[in-house]
Amino acid sequence: MMKKPLSKLAVPLLALPRTAKRLIAISVDLCLCILSVWLAFYLRLGDFVYLSGNTLLAALASVGIALPIFVTSGLYRAIFRYSGLPALLTVARAVAIYGLIYACVFTAVGIPEVPRTIGIIQPILLLLAIGTSRAVAHAWFGGQYQSIVKRGKRPKVLIYGAGQTGRQLATAMTNSVEMAVIGFIDDDERLHGHVLNGMPIYNPGDLPSLVPTLNIDTVLLAMPGIGRKRRNEILAEIRTAHVSVRTLPSMTDLAQGKLSISDLRDLDIDDLLGREPVSPNHILLIKNVKDKVVLVTGAGGSIGSELCRQILAIGPEKLLLIEQSEFALYAIHQELETKLAGRDIKLVPLLAAVQERNRMREIMGAWKPHTVYHAAAYKHVPLVEHNPAAGIKNNVLGTLTTAQAAADHGVADFVLISTDKAVRPTNIMGASKRMAEMVLQALAAVTTSTRFTMVRFGNVLGSSGSVVPKFRQQIRDGGPITLTHPDITRYFMTIPEAAQLVIQAGAMAGSGGNVFVLDMGQPVKIIDLARRMIELSGLSLKDEKHPEGDIDIQITSLRPGEKLYEELLIGDNPMPTQHQRIMKAREDFIAWSELQPKLAKLEAALDANDVGVIRAMMLQLVSGYAPHEHIVDWVYLEQGTAGLEECVLHGAA
């Protein structure tokens, strides 16, 4: 109980000038000299005496002898909070010198009315008192001083929003060792110049001048209820001040418990997308999921795992998780287990590759799922470009195998997660995804038991291998940010929004064979995204105009198969649906009777890794496919190099 008041008392004492601190120490020692004489009389006589006459002389003599010795011995040059054994030895030497002189006067010579033993008892008491005072000062001030130093070095922050959330955040951060709140910013002009909880409220327009004046490091955005448009306007204002921005979760997340500093997070780039998320259509959400057996392939991936989270929240009867990566399957299964909260939903983690025909048939036959969300795919453009056979096998033949197993076992709805890179593709990944779409379109025309649906959308923010986490790490490492081309442009959507729309689009299948396209909003130039990320990290862009900046952007070159711009539609005939963010397109495809034998030939070429035939067949099958002029398959290149070396050796022989 006493610790907190003592700590508060230590703060003003430590803030005093050094001269004042020395005067306080001398005053304390003066009092200890008099007190030790008074106690010495008590120990000798057994009664408390009133200091007068020669007894008072004994006390004054103690002060007159001790203080000059203590000053010349350097006792008041020591910093008490750092006092250790050397300081205590100095005290002992000084008191020893004092004791000899005091004993000579009051024990050897003697003074009337003062017992001779006082000259021995009092120096011993004074040594104990002075030593104890130094030890107490060390214990009391030492830790408090370190705490003050640490607090003084804390980054200074302003809270944007002086409402209830901002006040709660400021209260939660009162004793934080991570950062120090020194004021608020608020849009309400009536609050400007006022004081809240002892801290001033500033005008947001003054932020650029406040940052250098107050040495502001970070702005905490404590307005979780505002719309995305207003949030973007605020972020645009903050960017000009070159400070780091951290924010709070949504009001829905905060409603679960009391606000704390741990709720703060780095600003997500989805805050910059510039559009409000649309409320889901709950009828569409639950149609193919609620109380049904649902299967998700690629359950450990970025989209697959988010699909699993949202499906679990809706409430299926069983959720089957298919994943070929053991760790990814373990991670998502453990996460979902913690979210069950006693609900009667069965989670089934299944290790399997979608290309394994027998394994997929076993799984479909054992559980007979109602809905399948096929998210398993190789999606990293450069990797698939360098490993085309593996990419096509997984993305095309894996889709075919899974779809046929689903159709054979009465799956009602099969939903493929596709990509905007399937539109007029320039790379194997995009071409393979378009081929996967064509497989389902062809199957939909000849299959009545299963509705096959494709959902096509662009990049998702924060997915594995995507540009945002890469840029974020490069900024943490001090740069540079690497970009393949200054004009490269992409569509972006958050992972939760994409997964939610996939579930809703899958429920609008109708007779099947539809390609649904998600409204991705406006495309974003990647170089602009990089600049925003730098500025909202509190750093500045380093370029020719600003050579003193923090992070520079280095332009490399387009990678094999990489496009400057992505498209979402092959044709120009999108049709609206009952959801404002989902469009529908019926695009040309090859009939199953014609496609099936060509797929068999493609599979044979893949098994032989005949790269030339693979490329020729993909060009024939996928309309608009315009690959990179050179084959960059690693195995093909290595074999070519080895063959060339062998020819050179034979020629030399």
Structure tokens at 25: 């120490």
Give the Cα separation of 318 and 35 in Å (integer).
82
E strand or H helix at 295, and its extent?
strand 293-297
Query: Rg of the chain's alpha carbons, rounded to an integer?
Result: 38
SS (H, E, C) 21-34: HHHHHHHHHHHHHH
Active-site position among 379, 393, 421, 584: 421
Structure tokens at 563: 């496009």
Structure tokens at 209: 């001048």
Q: Where are the alpha helices (H) located in 15-117, listed in sequence order?
A: 18-45, 54-72, 85-103
Find residue 293's DSSP bridge partners.
Answer: 318
Q: Which residues contact 432 (CB under 8 A, 6 or more apart)?
A: 378, 384, 391, 392, 394, 395, 396, 618
Residues 364 and 409: beta-carbon distance below 8 Å: yes
Give the Cα separation of 37 and 58 in Å (integer).
7
Phi, psi (degrees; rounded to nearest 5) at 183: 170, 180
Distance of CA 223 to the CA centre of its chain: 19
Preceding omega of 480 cis (within 30 degrees of 0):
yes
Give the Cα separation of 452 and 416 in Å (integer).
8
Give the Cα separation of 101 and 87 in Å (integer).
22
Question: What is the DSSP annotation of 307-340?
Answer: HHHHHHHH--SEEEEEES-HHHHHHHHHHHHHH-
Distance of CA 632 to the CA centre of its chain: 36
Long-range contacts of 93-98 (CB under 8 A, 24+ apart): 94/69, 94/70, 95/66, 95/123, 95/126, 95/127, 95/130, 96/127, 97/69, 97/73, 98/65, 98/66, 98/69, 98/70, 98/123, 98/126
State the sign of the Cα–Cα–Cα–Cα dihedral 460, 464, 465, 470: positive
Give the Cα separation of 452 and 613 in Å (integer).
29
E strand or H helix at 371, and its extent?
strand 371-374
Q: How far is CA 433 from CA 342, 420, 559, 652, in A?
A: 39, 9, 19, 47
DSSP category for residue 190: G
Q: How far is CA 218 from CA 128, 196, 200, 221, 373, in A?
A: 50, 19, 16, 10, 42
Residues 126 and 62: beta-carbon distance below 8 Å: yes
Give the Cα separation of 583 and 273 in Å (integer).
20
Structure tokens at 128: 């104990």
Quick check: is 542 catalytic? no
Q: How far is CA 312 from CA 52, 292, 307, 317, in A?
A: 88, 11, 8, 9
Catalytic residues: 421
